[in-house]
Structure 1
């Protein structure tokens, strides 16, 4: 006897996504079957792992497999597994809603996609998985029972924004998905999903390497005898896939297409990988690895709970997915399989963290991946450009967390610079172009290239022809503090510490002029340091400004405002340090301020108050010039409006 049937609505974003999928023209509808088989395979993996961990679990594991059934008359296709199954709450959470971020972005990009190929690429990036069934089905039914439990759940939807769900008393262990296919298109026999030959073709193409048997009952016809009797028809169960572990086969025996389909299976992706990495470790620690660098970044790449994407097998037995112990966090975009030989099947993440074999494998995998990236950089510049665009910001996280590979990471990294508007540069290329006598690698950090190019901090560097790296990823604010030098050349921020770009000869020529300026502005500098004491630690003359009146400088060992904000956003308490205000002694505003201050003995106190307001405005404009906001925007706006009113 069934319980009450509930009719529920999809989560708003999921409902809109379903509408887009159902009504979109999708070029490779065949892939929905791969998604269902992959989900079934995952369920079988999870059940076997759970029975290893929980000896009290009552579950039948004697014949774990996947069944496919097709029926031409009612036009149904069924995929059934006897794996881990789901509870009522898990069905609602995993299928009734989209429990991942990024759906709104996907909807917008799908609407803007101009053709079916673009839609396919976007769907692959976001991994809609189960939802792809609505591209071929008018109605989808799911029946599932969690291993070890007696109650089951039935879920039904037509992809119209609602679904029904009910508790069922009796159902086999695992999950059964039945698709009520859309009406037959007589002109499109290539997509007849009730044809046994079509199912056999798709399983061979997409899922031949699945470790579990994929079975289907197949009709066998024996021709009639010469006496005119009818053909003899029998039904037998056939296994459609070879179940060969692709990573265990020699590389020359595996086609590129097989690698690509295996990648799509384990990564739940729809696009081809950028490159394939096949490894075999022998000796003390034996293992086989098949890894892939994707061609597109997943939407959750920067979320806190994003997994590494590497699965751990032990002697071809699945042990766990997203095995963080096998891959550093900055390589979390890598997908693949590692099959270790000499480990116990009954392992936990805590055991793996202390395992010498896992540590050794992780070290070797990391070096191999970095060398593969270096090969792309030197031999396949277009592929490297794709890689860096998608994953460069993540890779640079390793500059902070992996000191053993820091030099390699620096060499495979690329950066924007003032040298070119379009092309990126490596640090090695930058060093080759350094001016005679230049001892430092100059860089600037900020939210965008355009904003950095307008920064006052670059004025003297531009005037003297010094190249500056333009670092615009948030991670750049952090890693530059962990990298003291490259090839013996220290890294120097254009916005930190003292900067003097004069040659020894020029410095000697300018020495007298600078001493005179220092004496000339000494009183103004002292007064400004006192007047702006709540904001800055010091006011001094600048050697880096040629056009702007002022800029703010972080002390050599200080924390930039952007970095302080990042630390505070992560919950760390960072004291706000005062910066240094540098003045351009040749700018008319600065010289006018000096002259007004020099005449302070001859002006009333009200004028001195106006002079202090000018100092506040000067400080505020220095903040604005670098993209910062004055501490009291309302006060700054009031001062500026009052000053403008006097000039009208």
Structure 2
């Protein structure tokens, strides 16, 4: 079979085409990261072979010294990155170099704006890896063979990064992967040993695999006799004959696992570059912690909190977790067992001395060592965030804006750390005019009124709806701060977070509002008088709303609005009902309590209405208005409009 017949042409996945175009233009100002990404991938390939070889050391093929080699050819304007790691077969090549196997890819592209500066941040979070080669190359050739395969099963992949790539079967005597970058004419600067070495030492010093480059060849030197002048003075010393010294491969990085070094020996820049290696994020981390734990359980953790949330943080299919090493041997990516779901944004690694080298995800699931490490790492991250919140409010606010909604999942998931997580939460409140969530529960308690013993909150569909809720009227009148919650998860949060620092959290939209010692005797007396006065009106309204309202009461919370609906203390709130319905859960039917404001002119007008039919119409319109304000929709909006029109027409007569 001829070589032409062996070549197969494949089209790139649509998303790859988009990514290549965006990446080449958006990351052009930071071109040198191509080498960081390719060296990082090569090191990962070496780590994966080391793990596979634990159960089959024949995969080493009598070459157990794992390494990455970087070289260039000025004459041909190429750069080559080679590794003797796990390698790929033809199926691997097509899968890894022709598609983007990331969940949420469509969502990622929908967020791109066309602004190169802004898009480069998103692309950095996406992690471009291999495709970064096309930032500097107009053609890329990959030659690879999977460890353990026959030499005749090598594969060559070639592409100009436009719309397609070719694959062909080749003979490759060594395992691993060679990536040859055919540099663009304007990128000749990278076909230089010193330039490449400076990039490797800048970005890849922390990689535990040796990154090697060729030392310059030293030419042979002939023996030269000593030369003297007429007075016998030496003018040229004798030169000893020396053989030529061939170019040799030597390591240009420290080649020591960064996390095994003492903290005092690692610079901030090294920690930042290592973060980019483990996270594939182009940005710097917000903060990190490096710890060695000794005692019953021995492990090293290096945990990072990113500055920016990944684009697919809310994708349920997205894998998350830490890189797991056992005794410095890489075991797996995304070991989710060591970090709770509400901290899924945390990146980094664990290196355990206690787990077995043949550990699997199934073994990790119910392992006591796993549970001890998870507990320790969770505490570590919460303390990191707690410290940041106290030390730098502005920086913490940036963290909260990115990850706050995920952290709100914590009280429901992690009962043991509920109080500590609650201390990290931030909310908007009536104390502020903006939707900015910067009020902690601790700061709320510090501002509580004398006699106040509860933390009041309201949950609504939006900040505006929460801020303008009629349920807040009495609180504004008395100067009592109320937390304004409008994130989708907030109702779920408060169903699990019922108190903080001994203070009960109380919804202002539930029945039985009790302001405790903040209600003076005069107010209570006036309320009792009003209830007696409206006793018969309340009974009449109950009859009109039979089957629609559980109860009708004279409100203590309204000062400006005529009416509102509230949930019974034992019933599901309207926000929780919406949340359950949105995820396909069956919502139990419950009727609201209808509260009226006896001081409002409209209520006084209705109370004086003698015509039962008109009275019923007024009551139903008010009830439906209150329902609309609280729930945002009506079951039968057409009937509401008809009733309202009929009443308006009656007022014109």
Q: Do the two structures share a fold, i.e. TM-score over 0.5?
A: yes
- Match for residue 441 of structure 1? 455
Distance 1:226 1:18 in 2: 56
- Match for residue 452 of structure 1? 466
- Match for residue 215 of structure 1? 212
- Match for residue 228 of structure 2? none
Residue 357 to residue 107, structure 1, CA distance change in 2 (3 Å): closer
Deviation at 1:266, TM superposition (A): 0.6
Distance 2:562 2:95 in 1: 58
Whose radius of gyration is greater, 1 or 2?
Answer: 2
Residue 57 to residue 238, structure 1, CA distance change in 2 (3 Å): closer
Deviation at 1:433, TM superposition (A): 0.8
Name which of 497, 508, 531 aligns with 1:483: 497
Name which of 519, 525, 550 aligns with 1:509: 525
Distance 2:459 2:62 in 1: 59
Kept in 1, the 8 Å contact 2:26–2:120? The answer is no
Is residue 592 of structure 1 aligned with residue 605 of structure 2? yes
Name which of 421, 426, 445 aligns with 1:431: 445
Distance 1:464 1:205 in 2: 61
Kept in 1, the 8 Å contact 2:23–2:132? The answer is yes
- Match for residue 168 of structure 1? 169
Secondary structure of the corresponding residue to residue 466 of structure 2: helix
- Match for residue 235 of structure 2? none
Name which of 190, 193, 203 aligns with 2:200: 203
Deviation at 1:440, TM superposition (A): 0.9
- Match for residue 312 of structure 1? 324
- Match for residue 263 of structure 2? 251
Kept in 2, the 8 Å contact 1:497–1:554? The answer is yes
Distance 1:479 1:582 in 2: 26
Kept in 1, the 8 Å contact 2:511–2:593? The answer is no
When structure 1 is superposed on structure 2, of 77-86 and 96-105 the one drifting more is 96-105
Distance 2:8 2:646 in 1: 65
Distance 1:331 1:506 in 2: 50
Residue 5 to residue 477, structure 1, CA distance change in 2 (3 Å): farther
Deviation at 1:106, TM superposition (A): 5.0
- With normalisation by structure 2, the TM-score equals 0.88
Deviation at 1:250, TM superposition (A): 1.4
Per-residue deviation, residues 133-188 of structure 1 (Å, max 9, x unmatched): 2211112233444445554544333232x1123352544533332221111357xx
Distance 1:358 1:343 in 2: 8
Distance 1:212 1:488 in 2: 53
Kept in 1, the 8 Å contact 2:498–2:505? The answer is yes
Residue 35 to residue 576, structure 1, CA distance change in 2 (3 Å): farther
Name which of 34, 43, 46 aligns with 1:44: 46
Kept in 2, the 8 Å contact 1:145–1:174? The answer is yes
- Match for residue 283 of structure 1? 295
Equivalent residue pairs, number = 628
- Match for residue 549 of structure 1? 562
Kept in 1, the 8 Å contact 2:208–2:258? The answer is no
Kept in 2, the 8 Å contact 1:263–1:292? The answer is yes
Deviation at 1:277, TM superposition (A): 0.4
Kept in 2, the 8 Å contact 1:456–1:626? The answer is no
Distance 2:299 2:359 in 1: 16
- Match for residue 583 of structure 1? 596
Note the 1:410-425 alignment, pairs <5 A.
410-422=422-434, 424-425=438-439
Residue 323 to residue 643, structure 1, CA distance change in 2 (3 Å): same
Kept in 2, the 8 Å contact 1:564–1:576? The answer is no
Deviation at 1:468, TM superposition (A): 0.6
Name which of 616, 630, 641 aligns with 1:626: 630
Is residue 35 of structure 1 aligned with residue 37 of structure 2? yes
Distance 1:615 1:147 in 2: 79
Distance 1:218 1:631 in 2: 78
Secondary structure of the corresponding residue to residue 481 of structure 1: helix
Residue 473 to residue 508, structure 1, CA distance change in 2 (3 Å): closer
- Match for residue 126 of structure 2? 126
Distance 1:442 1:591 in 2: 30
Kept in 2, the 8 Å contact 1:276–1:290? The answer is yes
Secondary structure of the corresponding residue to residue 401 of structure 2: helix
Kept in 1, the 8 Å contact 2:69–2:82? The answer is yes
- Match for residue 558 of structure 1? 571
Kept in 2, the 8 Å contact 1:155–1:164? The answer is yes
- Match for residue 282 of structure 2? 270
5+ long unaligned stretches in structure 2: 225-238
Is residue 26 of structure 1 aligned with residue 38 of structure 2? no
When structure 1 is superposed on structure 2, of 362-371 and 255-264 the one drifting more is 362-371
Deviation at 1:427, TM superposition (A): 1.0
- Match for residue 234 of structure 2? none
Is residue 408 of structure 1 aligned with residue 420 of structure 2? yes
Distance 2:414 2:187 in 1: 56
Deviation at 1:347, TM superposition (A): 0.8
Residue 617 to residue 488, structure 1, CA distance change in 2 (3 Å): same
Secondary structure of the corresponding residue to residue 386 of structure 1: helix
Two-structure CA RMSD over aligned residues (Å): 3.0
Distance 1:137 1:639 in 2: 71
5+ long unaligned stretches in structure 1: 187-191, 601-607
Distance 2:60 2:583 in 1: 44
- Match for residue 587 of structure 2? 574
Distance 1:430 1:462 in 2: 15
Deviation at 1:474, TM superposition (A): 2.2
Distance 1:235 1:11 in 2: 42
Deviation at 1:379, TM superposition (A): 1.2
Kept in 2, the 8 Å contact 1:153–1:165? The answer is no
Deviation at 1:546, TM superposition (A): 2.1
Secondary structure of the corresponding residue to residue 184 of structure 1: helix
Note the 1:60-79 alignment, pairs <5 A.
62-79=64-81
